[in-house]
């Protein structure tokens, strides 16, 4: 299932990229325009995607993707980490770095198996420490948030 | 400036307190990330790249390169003591290294691998001095057609060598090339594939991509395990001394490994990893007792450990003399130089001698520091392994987030980081190597620029473009490397297939 879906996605993506590339000024071989090289790349991508699709549907050896089985707990740990990363990016402009970093570290640590106290303490320490290092010492304009 | 004169000048630069300190920080961080499984030198280099923006370019290069070769020292420690590779260049080391630990010879394995790395590092630096200067002299005559051929050939070779199926590698290349076209066209200033985003007009920045694929993705793999306890073998200081017999058996493998490693480093591809496999195979072939490999043969530690260090040195040659990075690690070094307005290439050595020679001299110093750091202090680094993995994983994620933001204070870079982190994790699960994508992302814009300039010069004639003696040679070599092995396999397969088909159809 996955082994066939991936090449199909690639094929669609390569096609879309080609359509966008064709809209750019192509120029001529002696005076290549902005679209010249993207069209070549798109053609290459299409050929590769077609080859991948063909090999997946023929069931050529090696086309089957070795899906390593994960247990439920491991899958949950990875999912939580990814969700936390996305939430951090979404929340950063609104709540500011210190708050976002604190919640991020505490939640991820807790779900990776730390005790609540450890998670909260590490969250506070790492949020304050990294803010001090980057925003105060290195002058990175990390958003402070509404407080 | 001759090599000796240059080196003397280089030492006067590298021995400046700020550069010595940068070198120390680099090799220290390198050793630590090398020791820690899951976090590799490339991710660490990407993480520390923003902190080098305020430094002198030579200082930045010295520190970042220190991480790269320092990791090769640290990686072997984990391989030998824990039976887990600290980083990819040390996978081979655990075959015999851990067996030596089980036999109580861990100390000898550690010492031989550190000394081997040191010898190879030193040989490699001599190699850089000679090869980079020579190549730069040749490369001054290169025009856009030659550079186009080198970038194209490099990408093709890399796809061949990156391991896994070539189709997968090509998918990665196509993705990298396409990503490289996002943003403002360097010649006509037209915006391409930006969908109206102002931030995207700058293009997709390499660093958050690398941090995602090599930093976040690795941490997500660590997160799978949650809290894991590692079993670590202890080493006493007086056990570190190899016996005279062990020294004797290691000397030739170290010498061969140094040369093999340096030469592998010159070729596009995952040089550090590849060189260890080549060296191991060579040592096994040369040995009178090949059947004993894998049971704790010191040769199997000495050769590959020298090779991966030689390879990191070799990989600097195309970067410094052509300005072309053939691996993610050297792509970051290129990024560090470009940020400072330096264009690495054949003119770098003559125009910015303080950067080139200072860097070369710093590698001598760095290797010496690493020898001291990794032998008497090996116990200190082993305690790093006792740090709880989940805490480490979380803190590295936070550092990646801050690091990506601080590159250009842009929220877009954060999203790129997370997106490519998840993507890189998926790739690892599918056993696809992301490095062709990363290298294609760097080389793509160079390839486009040189292609368009070259076509302009040849008035659109593709024949003139590829028929120039140098570009033709480069392309033929790349094609031979690309198509050679499958053709040989096909021919061999036919010869082998006959008896097999006879046997299966009696």
Q: pLDDT (tens digit, 9 = 90+) per residue, B400-431?
A: 898 888 888 888 999 999 999 999 999 988 88
pLDDT confidence band for B156 (50 / 70 / 90): confident
What is the rounded CA–CA span in Å between residue B259 and residue B467? 33
> For residue A91, what are its two tokens?
């929340």
Q: What is the pLDDT of residue B501?
A: 40
Q: Which of A31, A66, A89 sits opposite B415 (nearest CB)?
A: A89
Cross-chain residue pair B460–A30, CB shorter than 8 Å: yes
> For residue B183, what are its two tokens?
């943003």
What is the rounded CA–CA span in Å between residue B22 and residue B363? 12
Tell me the chain B residues in contact with residue A17 when contact means C-beta distances shorter than 8 Å: 178, 193
Lowest mean pLDDT among A14-18, B227-231, B268-272, B331-335: B227-231
| Average pLDDT of span B436-441 | 90
| Average pLDDT of span B238-247 | 85
The per-residue pLDDT of chain B, averaged, comes to 86
**Half-sphere exposure in the Cβ direction for A128 (13 Å, CA):** 5
Q: What is the pLDDT of residue B499?
A: 47
Lowest mean pLDDT among B94-98, B335-339, B456-460, B479-483: B479-483
The per-residue pLDDT of chain A, averaged, comes to 87
Cα B301 versus chain centre, distance: 20
| DSSP state letters, B328-371 | HHHHHHHHHHHHTT---STTHHHH-HHHHHHHHHHHHHHHHHHH
Asked if the ipTM is above 0.85, the reply is yes
Tens-digit pLDDT profile for residues B95-137 = 898 889 888 888 899 999 999 999 999 999 999 988 888 888 8
What is the rounded CA–CA span in Å between residue A94 and residue B77? 44
Cα B64 versus chain centre, distance: 12
Q: What is the pLDDT of residue B229?
A: 61
Tell me the chain B residues in contact with residue A35 when contact means C-beta distances shorter than 8 Å: 192
Q: Which of A30, A67, A130 sits opposite B402 (nearest CB)?
A: A130
Whole-angstrom CA distances from B503 to A1, A69, B436, B491, B494 are 35, 37, 41, 19, 15
Question: Taking CA atoms, what residue in A is nearest to B458?
Answer: A30
pLDDT confidence band for A3 (50 / 70 / 90): confident
Q: Check: CB of residue B89 under 8 Å from CB of residue B97.
A: no
Torsion angles phi and psi, residue A32, rounded to 5: -65, 135
| Average pLDDT of span B313-323 | 90
| Average pLDDT of span B163-168 | 81
Tell me the chain B residues in contact with residue A112 when contact means C-beta distances shorter than 8 Å: 223, 226-227, 390, 393-394
pLDDT confidence band for A63 (50 / 70 / 90): very low
| Average pLDDT of span B58-79 | 91
Q: Check: CB of residue B371 under 8 Å from CB of residue B115.
A: yes
What is the rounded CA–CA span in Å between residue B56 and residue B71? 23
| DSSP state letters, B56-73 | -HHHHHHHHHHHHHHHHH
Q: Which of A20, A81, A113 sits opposite B227 (nearest CB)?
A: A113
Q: How many other C-beta atoms are found inside a 10 Å radius of the C-beta of residue A40? A: 16
* pLDDT above 90 (res A70): no
> How many contiguous H segments (helices) and E segments (strands) does chain B have?
23, 2
What is the rounded CA–CA span in Å between residue A15 and residue B287? 53
Tell me the chain B residues in contact with residue A70 when contact means C-beta distances shorter than 8 Å: 224
* pLDDT above 80 (res A50): yes
B451/chain A closest Cα distance in angstroms: 8
> For residue B4, what are its two tokens?
């000796």
Alpha helix ranges (H) inside B216-326: 217-225, 244-266, 271-286, 299-314, 316-322
pLDDT confidence band for B50 (50 / 70 / 90): confident
Q: What is the pLDDT of residue B502?
A: 41
Cross-chain residue pair A114–B224, CB shorter than 8 Å: no
| DSSP state letters, A22-34 | HTS--EETTEE-T
Cross-chain residue pair A130–B226, CB shorter than 8 Å: no
What is the rounded CA–CA span in Å between residue B111 and residue B117? 10
Q: Testing the interface with A: which of B190, B224, B392 to mutate, by most A Cβ within 10 A?
A: B224
| Average pLDDT of span B47-54 | 85
Q: What is the pLDDT of residue A78?
A: 92
Torsion angles phi and psi, residue B165, rounded to 5: -80, 150
Q: What is the pLDDT of residue A68?
A: 58
Lowest mean pLDDT among B8-17, B65-74, B198-207: B198-207
Tell me the chain A residues in contact with residue B220 when contact means C-beta distances shorter than 8 Å: 78, 81-82
What is the rounded CA–CA span in Å between residue B145 and residue B440? 18
Question: String of b and e for B250-281 (b: at least 16 CB within 10 Å)?
Answer: beebbbbbbbbbbbbbbbbbbbbbbbbebbbb
Q: Which of B216, B394, B430 sits opposite A112 (nearest CB)?
A: B394
Q: Testing the interface with A: which of B55, B208, B390 to mutate, by most A Cβ within 10 A?
A: B390
């Amino acid at each position: 299932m996955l082994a066939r879906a991936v090449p199909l996605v690639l094929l669609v993506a390569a096609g879309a990229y080609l359509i966008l590339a064709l809209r750019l000024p192509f120029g001529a071989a002696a005076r290549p325009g902005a679209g010249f090289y993207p069209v070549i790349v798109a053609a290459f991508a299409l050929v590769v995607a077609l080859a991948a699709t063909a090999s997946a549907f023929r069931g050529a050896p090696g086309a089957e993707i070795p899906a390593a089985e994960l247990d439920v707990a491991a899958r949950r740990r990875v999912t939580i980490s990814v969700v936390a990363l996305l939430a951090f990016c979404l929340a950063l402009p609104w709540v500011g770095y210190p708050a976002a970093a604190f919640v991020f570290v505490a939640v991820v640590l807790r779900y990776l198996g730390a005790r609540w106290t450890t998670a909260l303490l590490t969250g506070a320490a790492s949020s304050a420490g990294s803010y001090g290092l980057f925003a105060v010492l290195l002058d990175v304009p990390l958003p402070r948030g509404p407080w | 400036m001759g090599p000796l004169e240059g080196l003397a000048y280089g030492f006067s630069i590298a021995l400046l307190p700020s550069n010595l300190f940068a070198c120390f920080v680099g090799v220290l961080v390198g050793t630590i990330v090398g020791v820690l499984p899951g976090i590799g030198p490339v991710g660490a280099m990407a993480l520390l790249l923003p902190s080098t923006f305020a430094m002198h370019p030579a200082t930045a290069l010295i520190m970042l390169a220190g991480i790269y070769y320092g990791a090769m020292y640290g990686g072997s420690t984990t391989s030998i003591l824990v039976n887990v590779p600290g980083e990819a260049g040390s996978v081979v080391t655990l075959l015999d290294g851990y067996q030596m630990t089980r036999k109580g010879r861990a100390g000898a394995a550690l010492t031989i691998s550190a000394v081997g790395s040191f010898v190879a590092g030193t040989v490699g630096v001599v190699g850089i001095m000679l090869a980079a200067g020579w190549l730069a002299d040749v490369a001054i005559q290169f025009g856009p057609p030659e550079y186009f051929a080198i970038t194209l050939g490099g990408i093709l070779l890399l796809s061949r060598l990156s391991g896994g199926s070539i189709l997968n590698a090509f998918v990665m290349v196509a993705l990298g090339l396409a990503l490289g076209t996002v943003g403002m066209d360097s010649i006509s200033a037209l915006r391409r594939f930006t969908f109206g985003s102002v931030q995207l007009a700058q293009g997709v920045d390499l660093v958050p991509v690398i941090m995602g694929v090599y930093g976040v993705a690795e941490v997500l793999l660590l997160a799978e395990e949650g809290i894991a306890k590692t079993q670590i073998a202890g080493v006493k200081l007086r056990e570190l001394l190899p016996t005279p017999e062990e020294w004797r058996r290691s000397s030739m493998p170290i010498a061969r490994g140094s040369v093999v490693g340096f030469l592998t480093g010159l070729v596009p591809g995952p040089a550090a990893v590849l060189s260890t496999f080549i060296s191991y195979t060579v040592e096994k072939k040369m040995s009178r007792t090949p059947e004993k490999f894998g049971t704790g043969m010191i040769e199997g530690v000495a050769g590959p450990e020298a090779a991966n260090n030689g390879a990191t040195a070799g990989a600097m040659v195309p970067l410094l003399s052509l300005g072309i990075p053939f691996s993610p690690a050297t792509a970051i070094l290129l990024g560090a130089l470009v940020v400072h307005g330096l264009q690495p290439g054949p003119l770098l050595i003559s125009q910015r001698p303080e950067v080139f020679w200072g860097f070369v001299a710093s590698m001598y110093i760095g290797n010496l520091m690493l020898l001291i750091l990794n032998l008497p202090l090996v116990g200190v680094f082993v305690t790093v392994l006792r740090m709880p993995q989940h805490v480490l994983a979380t803190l590295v994620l936070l550092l990646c987030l801050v690091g990506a933001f601080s590159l250009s204070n842009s929220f877009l870079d954060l999203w790129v980081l997370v997106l490519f982190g998840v993507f890189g994790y998926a790739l690892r699960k599918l056993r696809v190597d992301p490095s062709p994508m990363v290298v294609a992302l760097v080389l793509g814009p160079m390839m486009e620029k040189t292609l368009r300039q070259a076509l302009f010069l040849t008035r659109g004639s593709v024949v003139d473009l590829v028929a120039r003696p140098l570009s033709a040679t480069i392309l033929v070599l790349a094609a031979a490397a690309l198509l050679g092995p499958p053709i040989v396999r096909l021919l061999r397969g036919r010869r082998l297939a006959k008896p097999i088909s006879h046997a299966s159809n009696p």
